[in-house]
């Protein structure tokens, strides 16, 4: 796979697929610029070479054509500020409007196309739509790893129609950092898996069992394991149809010599609320009417000690309902442990929206090795799946 470093963009129009699927408030203002900032190095390289840039992205899930709330025009003020120049906007992503806007582009200028998903052909991976997009640039650059697991027109099909194609720095970094773990990291290797459901991460967990020494299970998914072992979980989250699967994973871990670590204790609440009554109970003893919303102090200690002894760490998913301040202590403890281990020389990969949000909210983004913006794409890559957007750049 070629990267932007192998191209000189002087006099060229770079057609760059970015992931600008950013959150907007009710005033259509961007509330998190992480994805916008992530692609700045790629865009800077192209502009420094003397090239021009045509940006294309999706935003949200428009149902049947253009909707103002999903227009990419709302992010123009943020792009102007971040790039330090005025970014032009085309009110369509194909056809005469887009083609005329591209034709006017001079070296050093940037154009943003309207939302790709205003056309259903984008998500369908339509060949004719991809070919129309391909006419808007000389070199195709994919810097949208977060959409690489989708065989959409702008991520997988368009590459067929472009003579020159490459990965941007975000795409390159996501793959390089994921491979540090998947190709066998420096031991001991620890994966910390949280979140609500085993079913969302079963394939990742199974794939990791051949690569890790320790597998820490926290968050909502841990209650399915506890119930499978015969424990009482009250009204905690549980996938009752996955109890056998949980036991099977524990057996596989044991057979492979992986230390599967579950919480020792739980912070429970009588209501799903930040102001609920709480108490700490040992694993498997949650009374009826109560639910687990965070890992307890003994679990925080055990998990943190395991992480701090590790040389390679993957963290995906929170330890509790971290959006409630009173139930964020477990997630914060993991973040602190990952930061500490990294400072001692460990490699740490933070994957998944909630884990990334926790790290960034605590101001630890620069204190860990890599914070992925890939979300579902990173998980599928770690499941061992071929990602269409990555494969398109390799062919």
Cβ burial of 243 (10 Å; 0-12, 13-18, 19+) is middle
Could you say which of 12, 17, 35, 227 is catalytic? Answer: 35
- Cis check for the bond before 138: say yes or no (omega within 30 of 0): no
Q: In what order do the strands lie in the sheet with 164-167?
A: 88-90, 110-113, 52-56, 13-17, 139-142, 164-167
Judge contact between 287 and 232, C-beta under 8 A. Answer: yes
- In sequence order, what are the residues at sequence separation of 6 or more whose Cβ sits closer than 8 angstroms to the Cβ of residue 99? 135, 136
**Residue 197 annotated to the active site:** yes
Report how far residue 73's alpha carbon sits from residue 316's, in angstroms, rounded to the nearest whole number.
32
Report how far residue 284's alpha carbon sits from residue 126's, in angstroms, rounded to the nearest whole number.
51
Could you say which of 2, 73, 180, 197 is catalytic? Answer: 197
Length of the chain: 395
**Residue 353 annotated to the active site:** yes
Could you say which of 353, 374, 375, 389 is catalytic? Answer: 353
**Residue 35 annotated to the active site:** yes
Angle at 302 between CA 299 and CA 306, to 5 degrees: 135
Report how far residue 119's alpha carbon sits from residue 67's, in angstroms, rounded to the nearest whole number.
11
Taking alpha carbons only, the member of 149, 141, 116, 161 closest to residue 388 is 149
Q: Report strand pairing: 278-282 vs 265-269.
A: antiparallel
Could you say which of 2, 365, 376, 385 is catalytic? Answer: 376
- CA 63 to each of CA 11, 67, 117, 123, 270: distance values in angstroms, whole numbers, following the listed order: 38, 8, 9, 12, 39
Judge contact between 160 and 391, C-beta under 8 A. Answer: no
Q: Which residues are catalytic?
A: 35, 197, 353, 376
């Amino acid at each position: 796979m070629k990267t932007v470093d192998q191209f000189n963009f002087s006099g060229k129009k770079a057609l760059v697929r970015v992931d600008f699927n950013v959150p907007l408030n009710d005033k259509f203002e961007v509330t998190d610029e992480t994805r916008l900032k992530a692609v700045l190095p790629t865009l800077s390289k192209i502009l420094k070479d003397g090239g021009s840039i045509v940006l294309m992205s999706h935003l949200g899930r428009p149902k049947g054509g253009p909707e103002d709330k999903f227009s990419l025009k709302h992010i123009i003020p943020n792009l102007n500020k971040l790039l330090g120049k005025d970014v032009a906007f085309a009110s369509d992503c194909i056809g005469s409007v887009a083609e005329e806007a591209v034709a006017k582009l001079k070296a050093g200028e940037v154009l943003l196309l309207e939302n790709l998903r205003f056309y259903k052909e984008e998500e369908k991976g339509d060949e004719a739509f991809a070919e129309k997009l391909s006419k808007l640039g000389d070199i195709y650059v994919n810097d949208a790893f977060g959409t690489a697991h989708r065989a959409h027109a702008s991520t997988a099909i368009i590459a067929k129609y472009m003579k020159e194609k490459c990965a941007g720095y975000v795409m390159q970094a996501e793959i390089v950092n994921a491979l540090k773990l998947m190709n066998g990291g420096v031991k001991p290797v620890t994966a910390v898996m949280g979140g609500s459901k085993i079913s969302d991460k079963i394939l990742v967990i199974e794939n990791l069992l051949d690569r890790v020494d320790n597998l820490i299970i926290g968050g909502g998914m841990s209650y399915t394991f506890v119930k499978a072992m015969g424990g009482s979980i009250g009204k905690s989250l549980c996938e009752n149809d996955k109890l056998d699967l949980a036991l099977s994973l524990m057996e596989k871990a044991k057979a492979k010599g992986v230390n599967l670590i579950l919480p020792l204790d739980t912070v429970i609440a009588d209501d799903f609320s930040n102001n609920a009554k709480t108490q700490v109970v040992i694993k498997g003893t949650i009374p009826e009417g109560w639910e687990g919303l965070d890992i307890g102090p003994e679990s925080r200690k055990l998990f943190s000690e395991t992480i701090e002894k590790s040389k390679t760490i993957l963290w995906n998913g929170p330890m509790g309902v971290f959006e409630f301040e009173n139930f964020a202590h477990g997630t914060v403890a993991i973040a602190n442990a990952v930061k500490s281990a990294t400072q001692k020389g460990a490699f740490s990969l933070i994957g998944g929206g909630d884990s990334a949000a926790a790290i960034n909210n605590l101001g630890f983004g620069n204190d860990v090795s890599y914070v992925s913006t890939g979300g579902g794409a990173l998980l599928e890559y770690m499941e061992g799946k071929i990602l269409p957007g990555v494969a398109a750049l390799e062919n």
